């Protein structure tokens, strides 16, 4: 009887620019609300009109979203305002979006039509991550995004004190510290061990600002076997061989970003820079792959891939894509003014909308602390 039940189609849409684990978490939650997830991705033209220039072009964004493990189908050039016609066309009963506000260039809620028709559902936005935040990290060229635990408190006032300036960051896209949990890692992980006889592939690196160049490499490496393990280097290790303010995303953020993709079976958190005999034996690695990009020597001057080479288990893999994380950062730096203006406009629109929806109606309930910061009521009341 249940086998004849019509699948429940769910619709999500968005820019999905600089696709990160916050986007993936939205799609994961949406998929669990139904059976088949269709994701509409806006074109470069639409994003530029309503939000400002995207960092990733539309072809890159289409490919990135399509490879996320919870996505069943994508729709290219999806309209910026979600309509009932779009939902009906793809047989979707409802649309899912995070509990923040998405506005057009005119300040209109892009989901007002489906909300009015009661065909809209919300999921929890992932705190501590946004495209606006990531762009800001690259523009500021700081290392505060590496900091953990007790260091967080040093910057807490900067992220929470929004009462001092009307132009302060939006509570939705403003910078905040991502706090990793085991539950979130479990939600993103497939949890499947390799089957007997599976060929185990191992790759390692920073995998920072996970982009289409890294995705193409991961996909190509996954074809060398049946079970792909990705070793992610610790922040200090990455900073040693890349310098500047790298990695842009800290280790825990990079873990979730990589786990979101369907080609990845397992992640080693804080993997050693050199591929050791112990690592290869522990995971029963059959082949270690690396891209055609240059390899930095370990701190003692040794080749980090000496052991797999000695065993005859090393292979250079050419993904055919030369895009690097440094190229993405350069896009931001080259268009610095445009992105600074984009971030400022976006946050101001959100700040104004937030004031209208929550602060003004609740002004009598707002608590102002001694330092002037405002206690904001939750977005979902």
DSSP string, 124-164: PPPTT--HHHHHHHHHHT-SGGG--GGGGHHHHHHHH--SS
User: What pLDDT score does 124 carry?
Assistant: 86
User: What pLDDT score does 191 carry?
Assistant: 87
- Examine the domain organization and report whether 292 and 365 are in the same domain: no
- Examine the domain organization and report whether 219 and 85 are in the same domain: no
- Examine the domain organization and report whether 187 and 306 are in the same domain: yes
- Examine the domain organization and report whether 173 and 190 are in the same domain: no
Classify 203 as helix, strand or coil.
Answer: strand
User: What pLDDT score does 371 carry?
Assistant: 34
d(CA 363, CA 381): 15
User: Closest Cα partner for 205 from 233, 236, 239, 245?
Assistant: 233
Cis ω on the peptide bond leading into residue 247 (within 30° of 0)?
Answer: yes
Question: Does some domain include residue 156?
Answer: yes
End-to-end CA, the chain: 40
User: What pLDDT score does 359 carry?
Assistant: 60
- Examine the domain organization and report whether 111 and 245 are in the same domain: no
Question: Does some domain include residue 1?
Answer: no
User: What pLDDT score does 3 carry?
Assistant: 61
Angle between helices 251-259 and 21-31 (to 10 degrees): 40
- Examine the domain organization and report whether 88 and 150 are in the same domain: no
Question: Does some domain include residue 70?
Answer: yes
d(CA 125, CA 85): 26
- Examine the domain organization and report whether 153 and 26 are in the same domain: no
How far from chain centre, in Å, is Cα 262? 14
E strand intervals along the chain:
9-14, 36-41, 73-76, 92-98, 120-123, 200-205, 227-232, 266-269, 287-290, 314-316, 367-368, 374-375
CATH code, domain with 210: 3.40.50.620
- Examine the domain organization and report whether 346 and 299 are in the same domain: no
For 53, the domain range is: 7-123
Answer whether 332's CB lies under 8 Å from 339's CB: yes
- Examine the domain organization and report whether 203 and 307 are in the same domain: yes
Answer whether 96's CB lies under 8 Å from 121's CB: yes
User: What pLDDT score does 354 carry?
Assistant: 60
Exposed e or buried b per residue across 2-27, where buried means at least 16 C-beta atoms within 10 angstroms of its C-beta? eeeeeeebbbbbbbbbbbbbbbbbbb
- Examine the domain organization and report whether 86 and 45 are in the same domain: yes
- Examine the domain organization and report whether 211 and 156 are in the same domain: no
d(CA 358, CA 151): 31
User: What pLDDT score does 167 carry?
Assistant: 38
From 105, 123, 141, the end of a domain falls on: 123
User: Which contacts (CB < 8 Å, 24+ apart) does range 22-25 have?
Assistant: 22/125, 22/126, 22/129, 22/130, 23/65, 23/68, 24/68, 24/70, 24/188, 24/256, 24/257, 24/260, 25/126, 25/184, 25/187, 25/188, 25/256
User: What pLDDT score does 141 carry?
Assistant: 59
CB atoms closer than 10 angstroms to residue 334: 10
pLDDT (tens, 9 = 90+) of the chain, 381 residues, equals 456 778 999 999 999 998 999 999 999 999 999 999 999 999 999 998 888 888 899 999 999 999 999 999 999 999 999 999 999 999 999 999 988 778 777 778 899 999 999 999 999 888 778 887 888 788 775 556 555 444 433 333 343 333 333 333 444 444 445 677 888 899 999 889 999 999 999 999 999 999 999 999 999 999 999 999 999 999 999 999 998 889 999 999 999 999 999 999 999 999 999 999 999 999 999 999 999 999 999 999 999 999 999 999 999 999 999 999 999 988 887 877 776 766 666 667 666 766 666 566 554 454 333 333 333 344 333
Answer whether 206's CB lies under 8 Å from 146's CB: no
Number of domains in the chain: 3
d(CA 234, CA 28): 26
Question: Does some domain include residue 381?
Answer: no
């Amino acid at each position: 009887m249940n086998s004849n039940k019509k699948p429940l189609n769910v619709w999500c849409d968005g820019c999905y620019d600089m696709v990160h684990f916050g986007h993936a978490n939205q799609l994961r939650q949406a998929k669990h609300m139904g059976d088949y997830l269709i994701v509409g991705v806006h074109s470069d033209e639409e994003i530029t009109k309503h939000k400002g220039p995207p960092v990733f072009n539309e072809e890159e964004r289409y490919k990135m979203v399509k490879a996320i493990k919870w996505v069943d189908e994508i729709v290219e050039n999806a309209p910026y305002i979600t309509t009932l016609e779009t939902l009906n066309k793809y047989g979707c009963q409802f649309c899912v979006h995070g509990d923040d506000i998405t506005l057009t260039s005119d300040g209109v809620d892009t989901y007002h039509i489906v909300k009015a028709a009661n065909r809209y559902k919300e999921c929890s936005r992932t705190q501590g991550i946004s495209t606006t935040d990531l762009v800001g990290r690259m523009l500021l060229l700081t290392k505060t995004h590496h900091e953990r635990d007790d260091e967080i408190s040093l910057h807490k006032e900067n992220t929470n004190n929004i009462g001092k300036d009307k132009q302060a960051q939006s509570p939705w896209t403003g910078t905040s510290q991502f706090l990793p949990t085991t539950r979130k890692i479990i939600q993103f992980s497939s949890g499947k061990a390799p089957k007997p006889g599976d060929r185990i592939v191992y790759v390692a690196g920073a995998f920072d600002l996970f982009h289409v160049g890294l995705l193409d490499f991961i996909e190509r490496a996954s074809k060398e076997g049946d079970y792909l393990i990705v070793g992610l280097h610790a922040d200090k290790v990455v900073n040693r061989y890349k310098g500047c303010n790298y990695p842009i995303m800290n280790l825990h953020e990079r873990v979730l970003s990589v786990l979101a993709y369907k080609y990845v079976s397992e992640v080693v958190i804080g993997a050693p820079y050199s591929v050791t005999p112990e690592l290869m034996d522990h995971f029963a690695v059959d082949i270690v792959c690396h891209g055609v990009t240059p390899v930095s020597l370990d701190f003692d001057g040794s080749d980090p891939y000496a052991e797999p080479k000695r065993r005859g288990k090393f292979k250079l893999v050419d993904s055919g894509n030369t895009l690097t994380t440094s190229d993405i950062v350069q896009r931001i730096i080259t268009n610095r003014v445009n992105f600074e203006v984009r971030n400022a406009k976006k946050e101001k629109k959100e700040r104004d909308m937030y004031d209208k929806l929550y602060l003004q109606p609740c002004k009598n309930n707002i608590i102002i602390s001694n330092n002037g910061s405002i206690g904001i009521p939750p977005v979902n009341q």
